[in-house]
Each structure stands twice: as structure tokens, then as C-alpha cells.
Amino acid sequence: MTTIEQSGTRAARRAEQRKAELRREIVAASFDCFAEQGYHATGIADIAARLGIGHGTFYRYFDNKRDIVGHVIDDLIARILAALGDENAPDAVSTLEDYRLQSARIGEAVASLIGADPRVPRLLLLEAPGVDAELRERVLDFIESMTEVTAAYLAHGVGLGYLRGDLDVEESARAINGMILGAVIHGVRHHDEESQASLARAIQRLMYDGIAAR
């Protein structure tokens, strides 16, 4: 490859990186606007103005406002799911004590995303389902998928004997997630760290006293 060709390749790579960065910036700015003003009250002009870009630039990356809110929700869901990988995978522990520690890690990771910014659950759980039926189903599918994930943790514990053998894994997972979802919604209106921490401890006591093998 000639020097000119190499220079052209580097320039093309930088241009692609800048496009990817701007796309992420548009998603982040859109989240801010939707979370602060609401989806229906936000216009493309609000998002463009926040970034200091023209309408034409926005439309080179996204078709319309409905297109961008879908990407915003997908981004939020991906960030939540990222907390469940590696050391926090369902089969990563083998004792009840390790499971307690794992649950605490997951709780802290999710709280750092959801608990630290009440706009996240407000947009994901309250705003997005009201946009249209497709987005409502996407959010409901995500909530249901979390039941499947929690059930995998419980099934692993039952299999190794550190959780009760008579545990109804699927319904217990749904009950646990219901408590967590209730705590998240509570935090939207009552964003107090001490209150949230107390609520988290109450959920953990209910979980472990109710499902631990005896």
C-alpha cells in the first residue's frame, strides 16, 4: 500500500470513528431531552440544539424522533444487561454466601445506573411504554426476559443445593423481580439514597429468608 493509500485509509478510519462518536452523542442528548421534557414534548430541534448541530446532521443518523427513542431504549437495556456478565453470570457462584455477594454486586451495578439517575427508570418504565404499542411490547419483553435471567440464578442454586429444593423457580423469579421493580418505581418519586438502601436491604432479607435451604 502506498503512502497516499495509507493516508486515505487513516482518514477514512477517523471519519468512521467520528461518525460513531456523534451517533452516541445524539443518543445521549436524546436521552437527556426525553427524560427531562418527555417524549411527546421533545422535538428534533431540542436534540439538535443541545448538541449544537443542524437538523440535517441529525437526519443523516436517524430517520425521526420515533427512530431515536428506540435506540435510546435499546441503549438503556444494553447497559442494564451488561451488569449481569462475567462474575455476575448465573453459574458463577456455588454457595449461598457467594450468591449473597453476587446479588449485592448486581444490585450495586444496577443502582449505579438506575438508582443514581431517576430519569432512567422514568424514561424506560413510564415514558417509553406510552410512545406506541411496539415500544411498549419491547419494554414488557425486557421485563419478562429479566424473569428468565433471575430464574436461571435460582435454578443454579437449587441444582447445587444452596437454595430450597421445593422452590418454584419461575414464579419466585417473578416475585423477586416484582419487588425490585417496585423499588425502582418508588425511587422515581422518592429519590433518597438512605430510603433506597433500606428498601434494598428489606428485599434481600425477604429473598434469603424465603429461598435459602434449611
Element (H, E) at 202: helix 193-211
pLDDT confidence of residue 173: 92
Structure confidence by residue, pLDDT tens digits, 103-135? 888 877 777 777 667 888 888 888 899 999 999
Q: What is the CATH number of the domain that holds 76?
A: 1.10.357.10
Q: Do 26 and 128 lie in a common domain?
A: no
**What band does 36 get if pLDDT is binned at 50, 70 and 90?**
confident
Range in 89-93, 103-107, 167-171 with the lowest mean pLDDT: 103-107
pLDDT at 159 over 90: yes
- Is there a contact between 107 and 183 (Cβ–Cβ < 8 Å)? no
CA 55 → CA 45, 77, 125, distances in Å?
7, 27, 28
Q: Do 5 and 79 lie in a common domain?
A: no
Q: Do 40 and 76 lie in a common domain?
A: no
Q: Do 40 and 105 lie in a common domain?
A: no
Q: Do 123 and 29 lie in a common domain?
A: no
Percent of the chain whose predicted confidence (pLDDT) is above 90: 40
Report helix, strand or coil for 63. coil
Q: Average pLDDT for residues 24-40, to the nearest whole number?
A: 91
pTM, whole model, 2 decimals? 0.78
Query: For the chain, what is the domain count?
Result: 2
pLDDT confidence of residue 186: 80
Q: Do 163 and 76 lie in a common domain?
A: yes
The domain containing residue 114 runs over which residues?
70-211
Q: Do 102 and 58 lie in a common domain?
A: no
Classify residue 140 as exposed, middle or buried by CB count within 10 Å of its CB (0-12, 13-18, 19+).
Answer: exposed
pLDDT confidence of residue 83: 73
